[in-house]
Amino acid sequence: MRQSKRAQRLAKHHKRYGSAGKLNLVSLMDIFTILVFFLIVNQSEVRVLQNVKEINLPVSVAEELPKENLLISVFNDVVLVQDRSIWQNTSNGEGLTEENTGQLVAALKQELAYQTQRRPELTDSEKQKGRAVTIIGDSSIPYEILKQIMAACAEADYRDMSLAVEQLAKNGQEAS
């Protein structure tokens, strides 16, 4: 028996739209692939040094991003190289002073020699500039002590030095 045109059209419509919808995963996979590559490429843009609550960093308008290299953290009563304590103040004084920096400098030279021994080969950049080191010091540490620490680093061929600071935002407010 022959159906009317209207019945044929309705049957065709029900056949076409009556089944469950299908999810096209190709487009979704393309989006996620692009997102993954975007995140991988831009991951290296953000460099954050350790956030130590006990250290109050000095403020600066420097715009250069820190590099990942040997890290020296200078507190009032302890000095860390790569999160390993190399010197601790044993006297009950006010902390790091010029009188007890001799012990600190000797311990720092010994640790830097050990770090040099762990990776003796130098890249071309390190041959020209020296090994790289970042010094994180509290803003209350006297600059004379930081100069002695930097001199000890230079003697151990860690001449490419960076001092960690807190960047000052363009509008004059502090930024982390």
Whether 48 is covered by a domain: the verdict is no
Whether 125 is covered by a domain: the verdict is yes
Residue 175 reports pLDDT greater than 50: no
Q: Which residues contact 98 (CB under 8 A, 6 or more apart)?
A: 142, 144, 145
CATH number of the domain to which 92 belongs: 3.30.420
Of 16 and 59, the structure prediction assigns the larger pLDDT to 16
pLDDT (tens digit per residue) in 107-160 = 999 999 998 888 878 888 788 888 889 888 888 888 888 899 999 999 998 988
Do 84 and 26 share a structural domain?
no
Do 64 and 38 share a structural domain?
no
Number of domains in the chain: 2
Identify the weakest region by mean pLDDT among 49-63, 111-125, 156-170: 49-63
The torsion defined by the Cα of 38, 40, 41 and 42, in degrees rounded to 10, comes to 80
CA distance 78 to 89: 6
User: Could you tell me the residue range of the domain that residue 106 belongs to?
Assistant: 59-167
Do 129 and 90 share a structural domain?
yes
CA 90 → CA 96, 100, 165, distances in Å?
Answer: 10, 10, 28
CA distance 168 to 57: 11
Do 83 and 28 share a structural domain?
no
Residue 53 reports pLDDT greater than 70: no
Q: Which residues contact 149 (CB under 8 A, 6 or more apart)?
A: 72, 74, 79, 104, 105, 108, 135, 137
CA distance 170 to 14: 63
pLDDT mean across residues, the chain: 79
What pLDDT was estimated at residue 109?
92
Tell me the whole-structure pTM to 2 decimals.
Answer: 0.59
What pLDDT was estimated at residue 47?
52
Whether 53 is covered by a domain: the verdict is no
pLDDT (tens digit per residue) in 35-44 = 898 888 777 6
Residue 29 reports pLDDT greater than 90: no
Do 72 and 16 share a structural domain?
no
Of 151 and 162, the structure prediction assigns the larger pLDDT to 151
Per-residue pLDDT, averaged over 42-56, amounts to 60
